[in-house]
Amino acid sequence: MSRLRDLVAAELSVSTPAPITAFAEHLTTVFRDARAVLFYGSILRTGDLSGVLDYYVLTERPPAGWRGFFTRILWPDVSYHEMTHQGEVLRAKVASMTLEQFQRAAAGETKDTTIWARFVQPCALIWAAQEEGGSRARETVVDAVTNACRTAGRFAIALGPQGGAPHALWTALFRETYKAELRVEKAGREVSILTFDPERYDRVMQAVQADEGGAMAPDERARLKKAWGVRRLLGKPLNVARLIKAAFTFQGASRYAAWKIERHTGVAVEVTPWRERHPILSAPAVLLRVWKSRRKVS
């Protein structure tokens, strides 16, 4: 058995608080052909349910209609959901894509970096479809996340200092991925990722290196550096394309924006049916109302 796969399987099996698990199960009724539900993000370690929960729902097929057409080209599809659990309102941002797309992206078979860079970080596999004769969906996801860690680890070895310690290799990788992507986080974000549990990242890198069977050959390092150059060039354009797509396909965008505005400004925004259907067209009026309200307060 792969040392890395054993480590990933154990991490994915971590238990999550009841509200987080309940929301994941609720999402399987929203996404009727769901194959698996993954939970990730800072709340996985903090347990703070006042923020927005982050899920990935892996499906059998893309959505129907025009939304599915765009999702086949630019995944994932993004949506916002709310659920009341034991009297408490929970909120979640959900990314969805097919399990097949997830497998390919995690293995580094696409020019995209976001999936393997995201899932080399801790996550939990909360739900997987039960199938007759076994748990193929769960095993497929474990394999995919293992590949995400392997892809990230190999790029880290290629991009980091030769013979460097795990921390130096991961620092180099996350610094490069943040530079390649269109991110809003401040510089140094890679430090906070690694600081939370540095021993965990040491274990992942050691497992990657053990599975690889020794030092990376010079020609393989050169090949990966060249491959990274292509991904660095395409990173920001892909992010921009996804933002444009999300502007027109983000389900629940108005409710998500209203919650964010009230949380950060204290100004309550009514989500009317028209605003729900036309979030982009309604945005200027909403922003004007927030601006006027804040002027009155000041």
Highest mean pLDDT among 70-84, 156-170, 281-295: 156-170
pLDDT (average), residues 60-77: 86
Residue type, 96: S
Which long-range contacts link 65-71 to residues 24+ away (Cβ below 8 Å)? 67/249, 70/245, 70/249, 71/96, 71/97, 71/249
pLDDT above 70: residue 285:
no
Mean pLDDT confidence for 42-49: 88
In tens, the pLDDT along 138-158 reads: 999 999 999 999 999 999 999
- What proportion of the chain, given as a percentage, has pLDDT over 90? 60
Residue-wise pLDDT tens digits, 218-277: 999 999 999 999 999 999 899 888 878 877 777 765 555 555 555 556 656 565 665 555
Higher pLDDT, 270 or 135: 135
Q: Look up residue 76 and give its DSSP letter.
A: P
241 or 288: which carries more pLDDT confidence? 241
Structure tokens at 248: 């027109």
Bigger pLDDT: 55 vs 69: 55
Q: Domains in the chain, please, with CATH? A: 3-251 (3.30.460.10), 254-297 (no CATH)
Q: Which residue has the tokens 């054993």?
A: 6
* CA distance readout (Å), 218 to 44, 150, 158, 162: 38, 18, 9, 10
Residues 173, 179: Cα–Cα separation, whole Å:
10
Listed range (42-51, 175-184, 270-279) with the worst mean pLDDT? 270-279
In this prediction, residues 104-128 reach a mean pLDDT of 96
Sign of the CA dihedral running 235, 237, 241, 244: positive
Q: Is the pLDDT of residue 59 over 70?
A: yes
Among candidates 103, 113, 107, 95, which has minimal Cα distance to 37?
Answer: 95
Q: Is 200 exposed, middle or buried (0-12, 13-18, 19+ CB in 10 A)?
A: middle
Task: Say which DSSP state 268 is in.
Answer: -
Of the two residues 212 and 296, the one the predictor is more confident about is 212
pLDDT at 134 over 60: no
> Per-residue pLDDT for 282 more than 60?
no
* Residue of higher predicted confidence among 241 and 291: 241
Name residue, tokens 């903090």.
46
Assess whether pLDDT exceeds 80 at residue 279: no
The closest alpha carbon to 99, from 145, 64, 66, 133, belongs to 145
How far is Cα 245 from Cα 226, in angstroms, rounded to an integer?
29
